[in-house]
Structure 1
Amino acid sequence: MDNTGTAASAAPKQGRARNRRGEGGRLREDIIAAAVELLDEAGDERAITLRSVARRVGIAAPSIYRHFPDQPAIMLAVVQGEFAELRNSLLSSVAKAGDDPRRRMYAVCEAYLEFARVHPERYRTMFGGLWMPDLNDSSLTKEDLASLGDESMRILVDTLGECAAAGQSTSTDPSSDAVALWLGLHGLAHQRAVAESFPWPPDIADRIITALAHLKAV
């Protein structure tokens, strides 16, 4: 990937005012936000280069190096931010669903699918789009990548465990069954995005959730 290429979709901003002392963190956030904008507009991780991001923010490309050593580091920050947004969406759905474990299980899964529907480009990038960093040639570590999505998975595990404890699910291994449930949700989210014309059954999500979470009939 050319880290210094210019993306055609990058709309330049006027020259950015220099940050006051102590405001370097704001520039870092602006860089991440610009990368997300480029991703949403182009639908392609290759649109995010050091030059395109700098152009969008209104700074010189070398200014990025104070915050990110390379393009993969920017992409990691983008992906980390989106996983945080996903986690917050799942937590919010749990809080709104009330105390019934079964209702909470459905709410979490529906929130997951809705995130993927509303943010298709971001979702694809989060789960292995064209962005595949070379760990031998970047500042990233295996630990950086392995931890992505841990909190969202924990929410699925905990919610399924609550269903099992309440006798609403026959799952005897919530950790493993939550992985199977995630695979089902991920597959549905992906296929909905790439096969929009397919005649999806209106209750397909409920069928997947009920089966893979081992929910008892009501």
Structure 2
Amino acid sequence: MSGAAPTTGRVEVGAAAVARLKPSQRPWGVLRCGGRRRERPGTSKLTSVSTHPSIDRSCGFTEGLCSLPLTEKEGRMATRQRNARGEGSKLREDLLAGAQRILERTGSEDDVSLRAVAREVGVSAPSIYAHFPDGKAIVDALVQQTFEELSALLRQARDESQPPGRLYAVCLAYIRFGLDRPERYLTLFERRRSLERTKQIANAGHGLMYPKGAEAFAILVDAVGESGSESRSRAEEEAALLWASMHGYVTLRFSTPGFQWFADEEHVCEALIRRATSPGRAE
């Protein structure tokens, strides 16, 4: 048997050979049997073997070859190099990036499990525990990170503009974030989740927006207030209406790519502000 397991195709190992190897020497693709005999229908060859140093014969494992198909994604685990000491934060970023890719493919946060992220990134599931306790925590961190990116762009637009045009600058920054980074935007607002999960997030003290999401909305409220809103409550009402309008525009751009919009995003932004606020506030 060669020293390195192939990362694609099939891996074939003998039972006796596996028993003699240390766990660190096992070819990737040899899986835990779980104490039960697992055979393919119509054949005596098993689809997995124990990874314990001494194979548990009570599970029904017999001598012979076990054959395991490896997908390209699963093969990444065999080639991914360890991070250098002190670079644990890089693994965290890799995990978030892996979760992002899963959300882009499936659209559902229920598919972001520790095992799924481990396969995506090419690490063992236990190595994730130092960073996240479960898949939902990974999703929460990813959403927080994305809201932070949005908040940073809105703050920059606010700080680089003067009050007469500040509301327009903030709104245009929001729209362009959605259009320029559609996969990140959809992570915030379009991912599917169970009703129970939605209730858990809503009852977490910060609502469905997450802390950084609430910060982004507060920037919009302040910009609306500075543009001439008569009160804070009125500014919040107008900001919510404006946010709903911008979100509708951005998501329609995703879902109806063939539709010919009457104007570019700059003019759409001005029109949305006029309709969500008092007359003349977009200038």
Counterpart residue number, 1:214: 278
Equivalent residue for 1:17, pick from 48, 66, 82:
82
Letter in 1 for 2:107: D
Q: CA deviation at 1:9?
A: 8.7
When normalised by structure 1's length, the TM-score is 0.78
Q: How does 1:53-202 map to 2 (within 5 A)?
A: 53-96=117-160, 98-99=161-162, 101-132=163-194, 134-135=196-197, 142-143=204-205, 145-148=207-210, 149-164=213-228, 173-202=234-263
Q: CA deviation at 1:89?
A: 0.9
Give the secondary-structure state (helix, strand or coil) at the position aligned to 1:84.
helix
Q: CA deviation at 1:124?
A: 1.9
CA contact (8 A) 1:181 1:212 kept: yes
In structure 2, do the counterparts of structure 1 residues 55 and 155 end up closer, same or farther at CA, with 3 Å as the change threshold?
same
CA contact (8 A) 1:34 1:57 kept: yes
Q: CA deviation at 1:171?
A: 7.1
- Partner Cα distance (2:128, 2:165) in 1: 45
Q: Percent of pairs identical after alignment? A: 34
- Report how many aligned residue pairs link the two structures: 203
Alignment of 1:204 with 2:268, yes or no, is yes
In structure 2, do the counterparts of structure 1 residues 108 and 138 end up closer, same or farther at CA, with 3 Å as the change threshold?
closer
- Partner Cα distance (1:154, 1:192) in 2: 25
Choose 169-178 or 123-132, whichever is displaced more.
169-178
Say what the alpha-carbon RMSD is for the aligned residues.
Answer: 3.1
Specify which structure has the higher proportion of strand. Answer: 2
Q: CA deviation at 1:80?
A: 0.7
Unaligned runs of 5+ in 1: 1-7
In structure 2, do the counterparts of structure 1 residues 194 and 130 end up closer, same or farther at CA, with 3 Å as the change threshold?
same
In structure 2, do the counterparts of structure 1 residues 35 and 133 end up closer, same or farther at CA, with 3 Å as the change threshold?
farther
CA contact (8 A) 2:206 2:214 kept: no
CA contact (8 A) 1:73 1:139 kept: no
In structure 2, do the counterparts of structure 1 residues 137 and 152 end up closer, same or farther at CA, with 3 Å as the change threshold?
closer
In structure 2, do the counterparts of structure 1 residues 134 and 28 end up closer, same or farther at CA, with 3 Å as the change threshold?
farther
Higher normalized contact order (CA 8 Å, seq sep 6+, divided by chain length): 1
Letter in 2 for 1:81: Q
When normalised by structure 2's length, the TM-score is 0.61
- Partner Cα distance (2:191, 2:243) in 1: 18
CA contact (8 A) 1:104 1:159 kept: yes
CA contact (8 A) 1:39 1:48 kept: yes
Letter in 2 for 1:127: F
In structure 2, do the counterparts of structure 1 residues 131 and 118 end up closer, same or farther at CA, with 3 Å as the change threshold?
farther
Give the secondary-structure state (helix, strand or coil) at the position aligned to 1:66.
coil
Unaligned runs of 5+ in 2: 1-70
CA contact (8 A) 1:43 1:121 kept: no
Letter in 2 for 1:17: R
- Partner Cα distance (1:18, 1:197) in 2: 45
Q: CA deviation at 1:76?
A: 1.0
In structure 2, do the counterparts of structure 1 residues 136 and 194 end up closer, same or farther at CA, with 3 Å as the change threshold?
closer
Letter in 2 for 1:156: L
- Partner Cα distance (1:76, 1:9) in 2: 28
Specify which structure has the higher proportion of helix. Answer: 1
Q: CA deviation at 1:50?
A: 2.6
Letter in 2 for 1:184: S
